């Protein structure tokens, strides 16, 4: 009897994704690609876990869907804090309108810690600063070079490295965010420290108030350690104010004299700007909002910028989340757009598992269209609210 030797073919190796940026966009992409069978490593510039003490986010369906497909048991966690009415105040504190519009507000920290613990530590690499990318189109490989002198090779590199993306700057230097002419002052106040005037008018609802060059909104969000119990939450407010580029540069110079560019984290705003925010609150805001702003010891700030990329794929490199498009916050869509980009990427890659290039080609147009639609919507809303410019017909 003759013997036959059979050679068993190697199972095809799992494709490997290198994700640059370990904030929400990177974690959505990392978890979702892993859920469709990819090996994923996330490389984050920061040396420690990210933290924003829970700035507010409106909870949108794409975020919930991305958490569900990551495998998170949604029945076991509280994702946010409900509000019932949308209430618009006049500057004197009287109510302009009150509408029943239930929705859920969550926090950046709650979504971040949930995604971060689902991804785990083994493939989440901190203190890794991407400096440069190289592509080998013959081998269909991409190499990421890091500031510490190390390299990593993958089949796909995902630039989820935010509004100042290094990936975007290298591949599409012409795609640059532009300043919208106003900034958001922001703050968080522990629920049990809400002054009476704020508690009476704002507590439990989604509140708004307009004035010249001024638009404020606020709502309750989860508190420290994602606590959603009444009494343990934060009141989160966001106050848009017109600021010319010179004033913006002065605001963005932190209390140590360091120029921060487009955002100042909690605790770093120079003392005279803290005073300025409190004084302006007294002059421009209805009593409830004025009281909550004045009760905020450490307001922080973020410049409003516009970006909607025309291209998001080059060979085996893609950009998503804020790296590709920055929607204005009035759309309440930055986090859900990052989730949507990542959900669609996982769908496209699993639809043509043997053809990554085709998947990326199929993925890109809808993402570009989404970024542009949100830019249109955000620009119209923001320009109307802050500059009283009617939408172009």
Ligand X SMILES: Cc1cc2nc3c(=O)[nH]c(=O)nc-3n(C[C@H](O)[C@H](O)[C@H](O)COP(=O)(O)OP(=O)(O)OC[C@H]3O[C@@H](n4cnc5c(N)ncnc54)[C@H](O)[C@@H]3O)c2cc1C
Q: Which residues bind ligand X (CB under 6 A)?
A: 20-26, 43-46, 50, 52, 55, 57, 108, 128-130, 160-163, 166, 321-323, 334-335, 338
Least spacing, CB of residue 313 vs ligand X, in Å:
16
- Give residues with Cβ within 8 angstroms of 195, minimum separation 6: 291, 292, 294, 295
- Of 201 and 328, the one with the shorter C-beta distance to ligand X is 328
Least spacing, CB of residue 5 vs ligand X, in Å:
48
- Of 232 and 287, the one with the shorter C-beta distance to ligand X is 232
- Of 93 and 373, the one with the shorter C-beta distance to ligand X is 373
Least spacing, CB of residue 65 vs ligand X, in Å:
15
Residue of 122, 22, 118 whose CA lies nearest to 70? 118
Least spacing, CB of residue 56 vs ligand X, in Å:
6
Least spacing, CB of residue 45 vs ligand X, in Å:
3
- Of 44 and 294, the one with the shorter C-beta distance to ligand X is 44
Q: Please answer whether residues 77 and 71 qualify as being in contact, where contact means their C-beta atoms are separated by less than 8 angstroms.
A: no
**In which region does residue 284 sit, left (phi positive, over 0), alpha (psi from -120 to 50) or beta (all else)?**
alpha
Taking CA 148 as the corner, what is the angle to CA 145 and CA 150, rounded to the nearest 5 degrees? 45
DSSP state of 46: S
* 43/65 Cα distance (integer angstroms): 24
- Of 201 and 335, the one with the shorter C-beta distance to ligand X is 335
Write out the DSSP string of 136-165.
ETTTTEEEEEETTS-EEEESEEEE---TT-
- Of 133 and 285, the one with the shorter C-beta distance to ligand X is 133
Q: What is the dihedral of CA 169, 174, 180, 184, to 10 degrees?
A: -10
Least spacing, CB of residue 212 vs ligand X, in Å:
26
């Amino acid at each position: 009897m003759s013997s036959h030797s059979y050679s068993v073919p190697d199972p095809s190796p799992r494709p490997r994704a290198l994700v640059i940026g370990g904030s929400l966009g990177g974690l959505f992409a990392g978890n979702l690609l892993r859920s469709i069978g990819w090996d994923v490593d996330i490389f984050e510039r920061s040396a420690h876990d990210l933290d924003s003490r829970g700035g507010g986010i409106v909870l949108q369906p794409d975020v919930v869907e991305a958490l569900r497909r990551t495998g998170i048991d949604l029945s076991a966690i509280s994702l946010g804090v409900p509000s019932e009415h949308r209430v618009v105040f006049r500057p004197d504190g009287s109510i302009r309108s009150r509408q029943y519009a239930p929705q859920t507000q969550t926090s950046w920290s709650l979504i971040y810690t949930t995604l971060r613990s689902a991804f785990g530590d083994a493939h989440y690499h901190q203190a890794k600063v991407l400096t440069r990318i190289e592509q080998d189109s013959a081998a269909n490989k991409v190499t990421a070079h890091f500031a510490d002198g190390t390299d990593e090779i993958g089949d796909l590199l995902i630039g989820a490295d935010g509004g100042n993306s290094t990936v975007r700057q290298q591949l599409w230097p012409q795609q640059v965010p532009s300043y919208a002419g106003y900034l958001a002052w922001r703050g968080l106040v522990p629920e049990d420290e809400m002054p009476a005037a704020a508690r009476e008018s704002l507590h439990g609802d989604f509140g708004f108030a307009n004035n010249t060059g001024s638009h404020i909104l606020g709502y309750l969000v989860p508190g420290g350690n994602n606590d959603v119990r009444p009494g343990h939450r934060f009141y989160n407010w966001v106050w848009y104010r017109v600021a010319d580029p010179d004033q913006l540069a002065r605001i963005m110079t932190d209390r140590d004299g360091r120029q921060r560019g487009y955002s100042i984290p909690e605790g770093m705003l120079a003392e005279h700007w803290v005073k300025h925010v409190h004084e302006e609150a007294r002059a421009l805001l209805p009593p409830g909002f004025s009281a909550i702003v004045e009760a905020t010891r450490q307001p922080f700030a973020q410049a409003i910028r516009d970006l909607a990329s025309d291209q998001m794929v080059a060979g085996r490199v893609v950009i998503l989340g804020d790296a590709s498009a920055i929607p204005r916050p009035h759309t309440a869509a930055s986090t859900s757009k990052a989730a949507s980009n990542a959900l669609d990427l996982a769908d496209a890659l699993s639809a043509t598992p043997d053809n990554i290039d085709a998947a990326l080609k199929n993925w890109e147009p809808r993402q570009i269209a989404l970024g542009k639609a949100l830019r249109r919507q955000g620009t119209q809303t923001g320009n109307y609210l802050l500059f009283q410019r009617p939408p172009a017909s």
